[in-house]
Structure 1
Amino acid sequence: MPGLADQWSHIEELSHYSDMQPEVMLSRLREFVGLARRARTSGERIYCWICL
């Protein structure tokens, strides 16, 4: 995940956010993975729609 967080922190569409450092993005990715795992454990699914 650290490599992905680093890549995402350099995405042009996210560049106007001031908190897009790799370590901040890594924290957000970990939270999202946790959410997905909890959903799967509960027999649920998540749907994520993003519009940039």
Structure 2
Amino acid sequence: MRSIKETERLKTQMKERARGRGIKTREIKKRGREEEDQMRIETSLKRAKME
């Protein structure tokens, strides 16, 4: 599980990287949301395995 600080750092990194490529913020938000969903799925799977 990532800490909040780490997640924030990754978000800013993603934004900076995207800015370098010239991607619109809407694209970044969409991608960020997809990654968050993916992380949620992964954590729920890990929890299910632990139980």
Deviations 1:1-43 (A, max 9, x none): xxx7xx844x2x5434132x11000000001000100001101
For structure 2, the 5+ residue unaligned runs are 1-7
How many residue pairs match? The answer is 36
From 21, 25, 29, the counterpart of 1:17: 21
For structure 1, the 5+ residue unaligned runs are 45-52
Q: RMSD over aligned Cα, in angstroms?
A: 2.6
Which protein has the bigger helix share? 2
* SS of aligned partner of 2:41: helix
**Bigger Rg, structure 1 or 2:** 2
* Normalised TM-score (structure 1): 0.50
